[in-house]
Copies of this chain bind each other. A is one copy, B any other.
Amino acid sequence: MNNHTPPFDSSAFRRALGMFATGVTIVTARAGDGTPVGMTANSFNSVSLDPPMVLWSLAKSARSLPVFHAAEHWNVHILANEQNDLANRFARAGEDKFAGLSLEPALADAPFLAGCSARFQCRTVFRYEGGDHIIFVGEVVGFDRSEMAPLLYVSGEYALATRLASPIATEVTGAADASAEPAPFTEQLLGYLLGRAHYQFMWGFRRTLDELGISHGEFFVLSLLAVRAALDADQITAHTAYTGIAADTALLSAMRARGLLSASADPAPRYALSPAGHAASRRVLAAAHAVEAALVEQLGGREAAGLRNLLKHLIRASDPGLPTLWGASA
C-alpha cells in the first residue's frame, strides 16, 4: 500500500490526508474598503501557548489572499455541529457569504460570527512560505468557547465526535466457560447492544406502564396514535408489525373497551386516542422523557447527539419499508 514519488498521485495524497480528522473553521478578515471576506478552512491548528498562537494555511491561488495579506487581524471560528450549512456556504466562491448573518462586536475589524464552538481573534505575527499555500501564524488577542459540540471533517465528510467507550463487562476472564468453541455471540454484536439498550431504556419507565396497566403492544399503539390520529387497523399494523408484537383488532378492541381509544363507525373503524388515552399517553411519554433526560445527562450531549445520528443511519439502512411516522399523512 506504499505510495512513493515519483510519480506522485495527488488524489491518493488527498485521501491519505483525509484520514487526519480535523475540526472545521471559518477564517474571516476585512478588506481596506470594508468588504468582509471569509472562507472555510480545516488547516487550522494550535502552535504556542505562551505567547498564545495559532496557525492556518491559505492557498496562494485564493481570491482573498490579498485581503488576508494586508489585514492586521483575522478571526478563526471553530464551527459547531449544527453549522455545516455555514461551512458549505463559506467553502463556495462567488456569493455574498455574509448575507443574512448577524455579526457580533469584535476587538478589531474582522467579521465575528455567532453560534460557534470556539472563536479566536488573532493578529498576524508571521506569514510563512508553504509550497502552494501561505502559512498564517497569529497571536491570539481574544477567544471564547461555548458548549456546542464541534463539527468535524474526516475523509471528505462532515462528522460528529463521540467519546471512546471502554468495554461493558469489566471482569472479562480468559475462558470461564467449559465450552471450547469460540463464542459467536459477543458484546460486539450490534443486535445484542441494540436490544440491551432498548430494554434498559424501557425498564426505566416500566413502572409507569405497569401502574397504568399498559402492555408493550398497547404502548406502541398509544405512541403511534399520539403522533398520527385516525388510523385504521391495517394502517396500525403497517406501523407496528415489524416489532413482532401484535397490535391487531383484538388488541384495538380491548383498548377501546377500556376507554383508551375512540373509533369511527364500522366496517373499517379509524382509531384515535380518547381523552383517557391521551392522558395515559402523556404520562408514559413524560416518564420516557425523564429517562431520556437522565441518560443524556449521564452520556453528555455530544454523545447523545452522536448516538441519535448513528441510530438514524442504522434505521435507514435496515428500514423494512415502514410508512412515514412523522410528516405527510399516509
Contact = CB atoms under 8 A, between A and B. Distances in A.
A223 interface: yes
Interface in A195-228: 195-204, 206, 216, 223, 226-228
A111 interface: no
Contacts of A188: 308
A233 interface: no
A176 B310 contact: no
A316 interface: yes
A307 interface: yes
A23 interface: yes
A308 B196 CA distance: 12
A193 interface: yes
A53 B185 contact: no
A86 interface: no
Contacts of A320: 200, 203
Nearest to A220: B195
Nearest to A2: B144
Interface in A273-315: 282, 285-286, 288-289, 291-292, 295-296, 298-299, 303-304, 306-315
A169 B324 CA distance: 6
Contact of A244 (B25, B46, B171, B216): B216
B191 A316 contact: no
Given A47-B133, A310-B162, A23 B23 contact: no
A50 B132 contact: yes
B161 A154 contact: yes
Q: Interface residue tally of chain A, by bracket?
A: 35 or more
Q: Can you tell how many copies of this chain the complex includes?
A: 2
Interface stretch (A4-12, A32-40, A64-72, A253-261): A4-12
A250 interface: no
A267 interface: no
A172 interface: yes
Contacts of A162: 159-162, 306, 309-310
A161 B195 contact: no
Contacts of A5: 52, 141-142
Contact of A55 (B118, B130, B223, B227): B130
Contacts of A51: 131-132
A165 B314 CA distance: 10
Interface string A140-163: 111111100010101001111111
11 contacts: A2-B142, A5-B142, A13-B52, A16-B118, A53-B131, A164-B309, A185-B226, A193-B311, A195-B201, A298-B318, A299-B317
Interface of A: 1-5, 8, 10, 12-17, 19-23, 25, 42-55, 57, 78, 81, 84, 107, 117-120, 126, 128-133, 135, 137, 139-146, 150, 152, 154, 157-173, 176-179, 183-204, 206, 216, 223, 226-229, 242-244, 282, 285-286, 288-289, 291-292, 295-296, 298-299, 303-304, 306-320, 324-329
